[in-house]
Structure 1
């Protein structure tokens, strides 16, 4: 019996192997527990407290604060989702042709283009957003060209700007969100399109499919994993962003992230800020779950 237990492939070795996956998972699980689960529990507890920063807070189980938070700030929640969804759509429209060109047509320039896509990450998010204030300034060339082409008039008709300028408007906030999160859309799309076998498109052409039909029935379905991953990576951080709305927007473009930041750091109403954070989390989780189910979970494989 002892020899059988110690033999290669015996019970002792099988038991040892069964613990290996758990040992490999332990560091990641510990990281999540310390930096995700513990802060979430603390935030949830804080949202159910009452009091003030001077006298202290007491856990009273005040669930009514969630109704108060939604009732007072529901326009900011909807605005955040709307801006994030719009920026995600624009990012997809911009990223898909670029990712396709990089993956299928760039040849030896592929790595250079990848570096150019990733290069903005070497600059602070704040600095990149501040740069857009210069780009969209009232006296800058972009605004002057837009005015000359009457694009600002069109943006006013679409209620994206309030006057003949681009800065401090819905347009500026959405443009900033689109730019800042564009790489998160490009990279998953590139990864999916780079795996695409061009012979499949050639086969579709041999079967008398037009370029549009080949794209619709071959390229697009095979790139859906990248589309799903890219839209999630873009929408989720964009919905909680507050830098773009603060630096590029106005009082009519305040997003929920900016409200949460203000409640935490200026108003010092910690329970309300925590409740708003949880409401935003649950809203995004619900939207993402519905989207993944609609797209099909197998697309994430």
Structure 2
């Protein structure tokens, strides 16, 4: 995995925080200085926190669990959607439905409804038998559900962790994750409360370049975790094949010994008859 350097963060403007009057005092440990009425994030802390977050994410993904991406602000939607789709991870980029985690059973019902609509509207014979007005209403409902739940359509159980772009904006998602003890990885700007998340990544959560750089870093960590998981599976399969071969050889050897023992008395009897 390509390591992000101090210069990369600087070029992406990760160090630019909010106006000093908008700051959250709990972000003080991650702030380097104040310049022209704006807080500057300590990029050394960003690198350190990002490294910790990447290692934790890799372990979660390596165990076969999912990381949910959450970013509903306009400048983050495109990059987060692309990265989540590439990694086949669940994502929410339109709006967070209250209870998406804490009331997951209801969300699953909505997902089943979406699947039913997809199946119904993709069947030409069924579509032709539906009145035009009803078909239009069903199409609109399908579009709405796809927009809100399309990113979690393949989610069959709760995600193992959340990656959040803006803690203040996604406070409902963070709150639900806290209630369910789901770890949260989040980009925390100078106006955020880092105590609300398990792995804060101090940095600019408004600029596209900053969001893109940090999101891609998290994406690479997930990708590496997936590769390690694949390697683990391959190693396990090889070990199982070797064990099966060893057991087979052992059985063949045992059967051969038994046949030899069974044939030995017969040979002795034949020799005795000849005498």
Q: TM-score, normalised by structure 1?
A: 0.23
User: Looking at CA atoms only, which structure, 1 or 2, has the larger radius of gyration?
Assistant: 2
Relative contact order, higher structure (CA 8 A, sep 6+)? 2
**Would you tell me which structure has more strand in proportion to its own residues?**
2
**Would you tell me which structure has more helix in proportion to its own residues?**
1
